[in-house]
Amino acid sequence: MRILGLSFDYHDAAAALVVDGVPVAAAQEERFTRVKHDRRLPESAARWCLARANLDAGDLDAIVFYEKPFRKLTRILAGSIATFPRSAAMFRRAAGAWLDERLWVGPRIERALGVPPSKILFCEHHLSHAASAFFASPFDEAAVLVVDGVGEWATASLGRGRRAEGGGWELSLDAEQRYPHSLGLLYSAFTAYLGFEVNEGEYKVMGLAPYGRPRFADRVRAMLAPFGDGSFRLDLDWFAFHRDPARAFAARFEREFGPARAPGAGDPAEDARFCDVAASVQLVCEELVLAMARQAARRAGSKNLCLAGGVALNATANARLLREGGFERIWIQPAAGDAGGALGAALYAAHALGRPPRWEMTRADLGPEHSTAEAADALRRAGLAFEEMRGEDELCSRAAGLLAEGKTLGWHQGRSEWGPRALGQRSILADPRPAEMKRTLNEKIKFRELFRPFAPSAVEESFGELFDAGSPVPDAYRFMLAVAPVREAARARLGAAAHVDGSARAQLVERGRLPLYHRLISRFGDLTGTAAVLNTSFNLKGEPIVETPEDAIATFAASGLDALALGPLLVARRPSGKTEARRRPWAASETPSDGWAW
Amino acid sequence: MESEPAAGFFVRAKEALARAGRAAARAQAAALLTLAYFLVIGPAALLARALGADPLSIRRAARTGWIARRAGPARETLTKAG
């Protein structure tokens, strides 16, 4: 059975193709269109998925959209009714968007891909998330927790996955917390207050939090009434996201926490108040995630947990779950945000319509790959001199040598990653030892805020020596989904990778799963005694991660990167010492996402 | 054959006309949707308040925020957009 999952119309549009229960291709639309967080119907991603499997749209058994649009509309109408007459502007914006395109999801898919309406299905938003976690996990049975901003009505859901009595597998969500009472929207309101873009800057709040003390935590807790079972009600006097299209938080916010930070204002890490606010909301977020996860475990009676939804990308909260949640094993979907809904919708339909075998997601490289010939052509067109390595050994030795000399390297290998993290296929790599490498990368390569940390990738043989992540190392570290304390003895060796609180969002690199990347890091370890590299996504601030060799070359040219590896082709030095003028910034999406989930 | 300045004038005029058209469409849509808000959502909101409805669960007394879900068979639920 061939099923295509699609997510679009909110943010991070994506397509994923599942054949007989196994995902064979998955990618976000932004990688093709170069529009960050592109939310449009993912025609390019869908067509690439089909081409990858040598299929036409007519060969598909079903196309599944990742949510129920009409159910979502009822929430928007109910919200307008409940907040009348203060929601006129919100209603105008939302109704305009719905009349223009969102009511017509089915016909738009039909038109774009040429499939009959009978083949178009709709999976609930949180079921899509839940399926993206459970049906990709190694578990026979597990509690399931989904936490995000909002789907149709649900903002958090509890459920379970297990073997069905009559054969096959069964996934159900048994309880949900509903809009507007949302942990994701609470966090997003603080993201907006701290001057970051909602649905983009949440991880910046998480990165800012360790600079502060959670001295406002009680005030954040006062914004909600907890029921003692992980669920809560928000006190809407603090918020405006449910009635105002341009503002997430109400005037009371600024009365309690002081003036909001203007978007683009100076370094927030230099203002203790903003750091403390970030630390406070982060702490409360962790407490709520822990409480919800414990409730999920109680209801399902399981020691395994599957986690998805945008909040599941909060690596600090995930680390607390791993440490304090009481679970034997936790599995988190690497594309836990809405893009991952495309994969989940397809997996859910595959298991609802048939009985495919279970599939475990052990690697995240489900995206496109590009041949050596394509890369060579692109390099020649760009006028860049390159050498072709005679195998992985030579490539890794040369690349590790460059890193050990303090050079920064663009690393473009194999199929691109599914999800927001670069895991060694589309990465910028550097030496993690000197502390000043963080500043170099932020200022000269990525052009981004100085306070933001970088993550290290370490091989399995030395992971435990560098990080205190427990043993065996939890699955979340394979996909860079949790932070871990850097061991005291290793701090000096990871000067650029340890955050201000001594933690790092470390990636575990196993020989059996990522052999080329493992070999590179091992070779770097042979040269330096530290078998870890600094790994950040191969993009500039505000741009999608590079996809093609052309994208990689353009980013190489526009940044201060020292070297570039495209498959076996190595550009060992820049043609001149100068950085070319930056390209048109892609930061501003042509069709920005709607902050408050209409 | 038109001279270049004349062609440039017509291109600019066409673009200005298109911009004006888009602005007029936006204004018209905003006016109609505002009207809909007060004529449809308004009465519905007044009725809901008169009946004590609480669609966002703001006032409702409860012992938990978890609401039980009643899902139908997986296969059937997939065919519905709502």
Structure tokens at A392: 């992985």
User: Tens of pLDDT along A12-43?
Assistant: 999 999 999 999 999 999 999 999 999 999 99
Quick one: average pLDDT of A214-223? 97
Residue A398, C-beta contacts closer than 8 angstroms, at least 6 positions apart: A389, A570, A572
Cβ(A511)–Cβ(A481) under 8 Å? Answer: no
Give ipTM to 2 decimals. Answer: 0.91
Query: B59 touching A, CB under 8 A?
Result: no
Q: Please give, one letter per residue, the 3-state secondary structure of A559-596.
A: CCCCEEEECCEEECCCCCCCCCCCCCCCCCCCCCCCCC
Query: Looking only at Cα atoms, what is the longest distance across chain B?
Result: 80
Residues of B in contact with A68 (CB under 8 A): 80-82
Query: B75 touching A, CB under 8 A?
Result: yes
Q: How many residues does chain A have?
A: 598
- CATH H-level superfamily of A372-571: Carbamoyltransferase, C-terminal domain (3.90.870.20)
pLDDT at A578: 52
| Minimal CA separation from A294 to chain B, in Å | 14
Q: How does DSSP classify residue A450? A: T
Cβ(A298)–Cβ(A274) under 8 Å? Answer: no
Q: How far apart are CA A40 and CA A100, in angstroms?
A: 13
User: Tens of pLDDT along A138-156?
Assistant: 999 999 999 999 999 999 9
pLDDT at A581: 44
| Minimal CA separation from A282 to chain B, in Å | 21
- Quick one: pLDDT band at residue B7, thresholds 50, 70, 90? confident
Q: List the single residue in B36, B66, B78 with the smallest CB-CB distance to A229.
A: B66
Percent with pLDDT over 90 in chain A: 90
Q: List the single residue in B46, B56, B68 with the smallest CB-CB distance to A174.
A: B68
User: Tens of pLDDT along A109-126?
Assistant: 999 999 999 999 999 999
For residue A580, is pLDDT > 70? no
pLDDT at A575: 78
Cβ(A306)–Cβ(A134) under 8 Å? Answer: yes
Contact (CB<8Å) A92/B56? no
**Domain A1-66+69-122+338-361 is in which class?**
alpha beta
Query: B38 touching A, CB under 8 A?
Result: yes
For residue B77, CA distances in Å to A129, A349, A451 come to 16, 10, 46
Quick one: average pLDDT of A386-406? 98
For residue A587, is pLDDT > 50? no
Written as one letter, the residue type at A586 is W
Q: How far apart are CA A166 and CA A144, in angstroms?
A: 21
* Backbone torsions φ then ψ of A539, nearest 5 degrees: -165, 170
Residue A327, C-beta contacts closer than 8 angstroms, at least 6 positions apart: A293, A297, A303, A304, A305, A321
Residue A87, C-beta contacts closer than 8 angstroms, at least 6 positions apart: A79, A80, A242, A243, A244, B37, B41
For residue A337, is pLDDT > 80? yes
- Quick one: pLDDT band at residue A572, thresholds 50, 70, 90? very high
Closest CA to A428 of A463, A457, A452, A450: A457
Average per-residue pLDDT for chain A: 94
Residue B15, C-beta contacts closer than 8 angstroms, at least 6 positions apart: none
User: Tens of pLDDT along A291-321?
Assistant: 999 999 999 999 999 999 999 999 999 999 9
User: Tens of pLDDT along B23-78?
Assistant: 998 899 899 999 999 999 999 999 999 999 998 988 777 899 999 998 777 888 89
Q: Which residues are bridge partners to A3 per DSSP?
A: A18, A62
Q: Note if A125 is an active site residue.
A: no
Query: B30 touching A, CB under 8 A?
Result: yes
Q: How far apart are CA B78 and CA A528, in angstroms?
A: 55
Give the A:B interface size as CB pairs under 8 Å. 122
Cβ(A4)–Cβ(A346) under 8 Å? Answer: yes
Domain A138-334: give its CATH architecture. Answer: 2-Layer Sandwich (3.30)
DSSP string, B16-60: HHHHHHHHHHHHHHHHHHHHHIIIIIHHHHHHHHHTT--TT-SS-
- Quick one: pLDDT band at residue B2, thresholds 50, 70, 90? low
Closest CA to A241 of A192, A287, A305: A192
Query: B35 touching A, CB under 8 A?
Result: no
Torsion of CA A244, A595, A284, A127, to 10 degrees: 120
Q: List the single residue in B37, B66, B82 with the smallest CB-CB distance to A175.
A: B66
CATH 3.90.870.20 region(s) of chain A? 372-571
Residues of B in contact with A179 (CB under 8 A): 56
The helix/strand/coil state of A57 is: helix
For residue A147, CA distances in Å to A72, A291, A537 come to 17, 12, 25
- Quick one: pLDDT band at residue A573, thresholds 50, 70, 90? confident
Kindly give the pairing relationship between strand A409-412 and strand A563-566: parallel
pLDDT at A213: 98
For residue A562, is pLDDT > 90? yes
Q: How far apart are CA B69 and CA A154, in angstroms?
A: 10
| Cβ count within 10 A of residue A529 | 10
| Minimal CA separation from B34 to chain A, in Å | 6
User: Tens of pLDDT along A194-204?
Assistant: 999 999 899 99
Residue A590 burial (C-beta neighbours within 10 Å; 0-12, 13-18, 19+): exposed
Give Cα A39 to chain centroid, integer Å.
15
Percent with pLDDT over 70 in chain A: 96
Quickly tell me which residue has 């339909």 as its tokens: A349
Q: List the single residue in A70, A157, A158 with the smallest CB-CB distance to B81.
A: A70
Cβ(A543)–Cβ(A36) under 8 Å? Answer: yes
CATH 3.30.420.40 region(s) of chain A? 1-66+69-122+338-361, 138-334
Interface test with A, best of B22, B34, B35, B37 (most A CBs within 10 A): B37
